[in-house]
Amino acid sequence: RSLPYFCRGQVVRGFGRGSKDLGIPTANFPESVVDNLPADISTGIYYGWARVDNGDIHKMVMSIGWNPYYKNTKKSMETHVIHKFKEDFYGQMLSVAMVGYIRPERGFKSLDELIAAIHSDIEEAKTKLDLPEHLKLKEHNFFKTST
């Protein structure tokens, strides 16, 4: 198992699927970060910790999926930081610790069903990350370096 897995990269524009319109913006990592993922990291929903530049460390949920922009031949990594930001942070450094796996990707019958699933993922992430073994990762050296 390769969790926890730590990575960072500059936030790039996604494919404008309008995640923000659903109230669940997802920050995309550049291809270089996605290409570095260990082979045994499967697609699906993960939870963990995230930090923008040298800001506070927040809880996050991340979707690793097949990128439609590359005809599903490449993966994408999209992070929803569980925090209300005043402004977008395109171009800024996003550091994440992927800590645990929630579920595989799946199709949904409706947008409402999708949004409900994401909200339940967020609730699960919040609860799991309060476990001492997960909380201690906020003190990991990975988050000590300034970017």
Pick the binder of Mg ion from 9, 11, 26, 57 (CB under 5 A): 26
By CB under 5 A, tell whether 14 contacts Mg ion.
Answer: yes
H helices of 27-139, where? 31-35, 111-129, 132-135
Out of Mg ion, ligand ADP, none, what residue 16 binds, judged by CB under 5 to 8 A for its kind, is: ligand ADP
Q: Given the rule CB under 6 A, which residues bind ligand ADP?
A: 11, 13-20, 25-28, 79-81, 83, 85, 88-90
* Nearest approach, Cβ of residue 123 and Mg ion (Å): 21
Identify which of residues 85 and 108 has a Cβ nearer to ligand ADP in the complex.
85
Long-range Cβ pairs for the range 58-65 (8 Å, 24+): 58/82, 58/83, 59/83, 59/125, 59/126, 59/129, 60/96, 60/125, 61/102, 61/118, 61/121, 61/122, 61/125, 62/96, 62/98, 63/26, 63/105, 64/37, 65/105
**105 assigned to active site:** no
Identify which of residues 38 and 94 has a Cβ nearer to ligand ADP in the complex.
94
Identify which of residues 6 and 89 has a Cβ nearer to ligand ADP in the complex.
89
The neighbour count for residue 138, using CB atoms within 10 Å, is 16
Task: Point out which residues bind Mg ion (CB under 5 A).
Answer: 14, 19, 26
Active site residues: 78
